[in-house]
């Protein structure tokens, strides 16, 4: 059994898919306190901040702690969670017919081990259909997702090429975690 230090339903879904027993306890780390615009640095700093908050609260004596964060980058821009539907639309228009990378950092710690991993999955997308994109945006599913993308949902039919694990793009590279459990 591990403690998932995240409120993400997608990360919980991934752990369930891989039959990993967990309890879920997210935190309140303020990502807006991070000043860097470098996607990889931002992702690491956010994960580290969340980890430190939850490690101080729960420790790892009773149960290992797993914390993760993801960001999206396209054309060198850091794409975080959309502030509103217009922000989501701008992000998705940037990614349409473009290469987009999802960077996920995870920190897993138990008494005798600490794993820090930063992984990236890169997608080449075909052009997003405007009506399909509008339906997705208006559904609100794009909110709360880095870069407003959902590779397991809206974006799936537009994937031309992928390099990396889908789990990384969904917020947790479970394939890299499993050997350490």
How many other CB atoms sit within 10 Å of the CB of residue 96? 18
Using DSSP, state whether 36 is helix, strand or coil: coil
Which residues, in sequence order, are CB contacts of 48 under 8 Å at separation 6+? 107
Task: Output b/e per residue, 39-75; b: 16+ Cβ within 10 A.
Answer: bbbbbbbbbbbbbebbbeeeebeeebbbbbbbbbbbe
Catalytic pick among 69, 84, 87, 161: 69
Say how far apart CA 157 and CA 151 lie, in whole Å. Answer: 9
DSSP β-ladder status, 99-110 and 159-163 = unpaired
For every residue of 116-149, DSSP letters joined together read: EEEEEEEEEE-PPPHHHHHHHHHHTTTTTSBTT-
Tokens describing residue 76: 């060198």
**Is residue 69 flagged as an active site residue?**
yes
Residues marked active site are found at 69
């Amino acid at each position: 059994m591990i403690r998932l230090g995240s409120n993400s339903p997608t990360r919980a879904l991934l752990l369930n898919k891989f039959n990993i027993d967990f309890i879920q306890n997210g935190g309140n780390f303020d990502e807006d306190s991070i000043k860097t615009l470098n996607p990889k640095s931002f992702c690491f700093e956010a994960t580290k901040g969340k980890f430190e908050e939850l490690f101080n609260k729960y420790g790892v004596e009773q149960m290992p702690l797993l914390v993760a964060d993801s960001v999206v980058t396209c054309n060198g821009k850091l794409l975080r969670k959309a502030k509103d539907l217009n922000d989501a639309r701008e992000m998705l228009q940037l990614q349409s017919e473009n290469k987009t990378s999802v960077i996920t950092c995870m920190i897993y710690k138990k008494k005798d081990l600490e794993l820090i991993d930063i992984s990236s999955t890169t997608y080449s997308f075909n052009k997003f259909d405007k009506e399909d994109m509008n339906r997705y945006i208006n559904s609100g599913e794009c909110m709360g997702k880095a870069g407003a993308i959902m590779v397991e949902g809206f974006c799936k039919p537009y994937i031309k090429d992928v390099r990396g694990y889908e789990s990384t793009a969904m917020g947790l590279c479970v394939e890299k975690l499993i050997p350490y459990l």
